[in-house]
Amino acid sequence: MSGIPFDQREGWIWLDGEFVEWSQARLHVLSHGLHYASTVYEGERVYNGKIFKLREHSERLYRSAQLMDFAIPFELAELEAASHELLQRNNVSDGYLRPVAWRGSEMISTSARFNRVHVAIACWQWPSYFDPAARMAGIRLKTATWRRPPPSSSPFEAKASGHYQIATLSKHDAENSGYHDALMLDWRGHVAEATSANVFFVKGRTLYTPVPDCFLNGITRQTVIELARALDYQVVEATILPAQLGDFDECFLTGTAAEITPVQSIDEQHYRPGDACRQFIAAYTSTVNA
Ligand code: PMP
């Protein structure tokens, strides 16, 4: 356990159009979102008071809701204005925002067509400790036994709660075995992503990353692909098989929370975080702080 539990902190939370005291931001136990995972959310970072790629995150939230067959009952601009005001009210300059939307309590059944959609935004101070030296040690991944389902089995482009069931199972399994995180394969057995971040491999001046055809095409992933061009790396979106993991020099994860996280090993395969990890960490740091 680390830190104060999230329901016991202080400050303001934006809930259904109003700023409420943190402790009062409650929902009923008979909420559809809780029972049936009809919930979508975002994870956003704020650097120097500015929310990085806010518009991309907002658009993904609305698209996630649409994919889950519900509509967010607020204008995008209203949510973005609320996010900015919330940062000020909570005095957060370098931190994390968590917008979330879920179906309420009108119906408790698989059908939920009359359920009201609720929306909340929370934020907290969470500075990015970009100590490059510490990061460069890299994290250790264990291949998960759970696999990302095919696109015919889940609306994979949605950042929806249901997708995190196997992520938490895989992360716990990895942690129980002394690893930091899990590498998830997809239903075909191709390398897919980590439990809450995308994955990149480096060979010479080329970056390889799996095609996002059954998992989130992360906003950080897209940022890194743009940075790669500027850094004169070629980017290849390709099928990567576990048997090919030994073909690469370096490996790193990308995500809003993970930022650029070098990987030291995947199972028995070792990598030495080097120039590529260093360059992408530096480029990402200057981009988010620009
Ligand atoms: N995959 C999963 C499963 C995630 O939860 C995240 C974090 N949102 C990502 C990838 C990376 O996405 P982003 O760069 O947009 O944060």
CATH code of the domain in which 256 resides: 3.20.10.10
The pLDDT value given to residue 133: 78
Task: Let me know whether 93 and 143 are in one domain.
Answer: no
Q: How confident is the model at residue 128 (pLDDT cuts 50, 70, 90)?
A: confident
Is residue 129 predicted with pLDDT exceeding 90? no
Is residue 149 predicted with pLDDT exceeding 70? yes
The pLDDT value given to residue 134: 80
> Cβ atoms within 10 A of the Cβ of 260, count?
27
**Predicted confidence (pLDDT) per residue in 80-117, tens digit:** 999 999 999 999 999 999 999 999 999 999 999 999 99
Task: Let me know whether 119 and 149 are in one domain.
Answer: no
The pLDDT value given to residue 130: 62
Task: Let me know whether 155 and 272 are in one domain.
Answer: yes
Task: Let me know whether 220 and 188 are in one domain.
Answer: yes
Q: Considering its fold, how many domains does the chain have in total? A: 2
Task: Let me know whether 159 and 118 are in one domain.
Answer: no
The pLDDT value given to residue 2: 65
Residue 1 lies in a domain: no
C-alpha closest to that of 277 among 288, 267, 285, 266 = 285
Identify the domain containing residue 67 by its residue range: 6-125
- Distance of CA 182 from the midpoint of ligand 1 (Å): 14
Task: Let me know whether 106 and 161 are in one domain.
Answer: no
CA separation for the pair 184, 166 (Å, rounded): 9
Catalytic pick among 50, 53, 142, 159: 159
**Residue 203 appears among annotated catalytic residues:** no
Q: Average pLDDT over the chain, rounded to whole?
A: 96
Query: Could you tell me what percent of the chain has a pLDDT over 90?
Result: 96
Task: Let me know whether 91 and 194 are in one domain.
Answer: no
- DSSP H or E segment with residue 206: strand 206-210
223 Cα nearest atom in ligand 1: 14
- Distance of CA 107 from the midpoint of ligand 1 (Å): 30
The pLDDT value given to residue 243: 98
Give just the sign of the alpha carbon dihedral 256, 6, 41, 91. Answer: negative
Q: List residues near ligand 1 (CB under 6 A).
A: 43, 159, 193, 196-198, 215-216, 218-221, 254-256
**Predicted confidence (pLDDT) per residue in 217-272, tens digit:** 999 999 999 999 999 999 999 999 999 999 999 999 999 999 999 999 999 999 99
42 Cα nearest atom in ligand 1: 8
